[in-house]
Amino acid sequence: MIRLRNISKYYGDKQALSSVDLTCESGSTTVLIGPSGSGKSTLLRAVIGLIAPDKGEVTIEGETLTPSNLLVQRRKMGYVIQEGGLFPHLTVVANISLMARYLGWKEGEIQLRAGELCRLTKFPEEALTRYPLQIS
């Protein structure tokens, strides 16, 4: 479970998030919908620890996100940065397996997980090895 309690974030005098409370149950799908500039990306950055909220707390599976546990918690999550976060010279599977390779996963484990992710997201498995990556 991911829980956000009273999350606020400022950039200078601009408030990006104002006292956000949100609970995402384990195994559920949560969608953030809103116009550009509404705080969706800022909220996700706080969840994965790329930014620290100015106020409030993020808990993941009951553990408050702190600088000391940030990397351990982040490695339990998967996320894709919008727009410029993918490497166009790599295939889809190479992009999504960067962290797994860094952590020393075996090739078979990577392929199994890539297949699971394809089925979960209804992404065509034959597109995993497409080269070069086509970003639309």
Please, which contacts does 100-103 make with residues 24 or more away whose CB atoms are closer than 8 Å? 103/75
**Angstrom distance (rounded) from CA 93 to CA 130:** 9
Instruction: Say what the pTM is.
Output: 0.67
pLDDT band (50, 70, 90) for residue 108? very high
Q: For residue 84, tell me if it sits in a domain.
A: no
Q: Please tell me whether residues 64 and 97 are part of one structural domain.
A: no
Task: Give per-residue pLDDT as tens, 61-97.
Answer: 999 999 999 888 887 776 666 666 678 888 888 988 9
Q: How many CA atoms lie within 13 A of 81 on its CB side?
A: 8
Question: Domain span at residue 35?
Answer: 2-74
Residue 135 lies in a domain: no
Q: Indicate whether 63 and 17 sit together in one domain.
A: yes
Query: Looking at residue 56, what is its pLDDT?
Result: 96
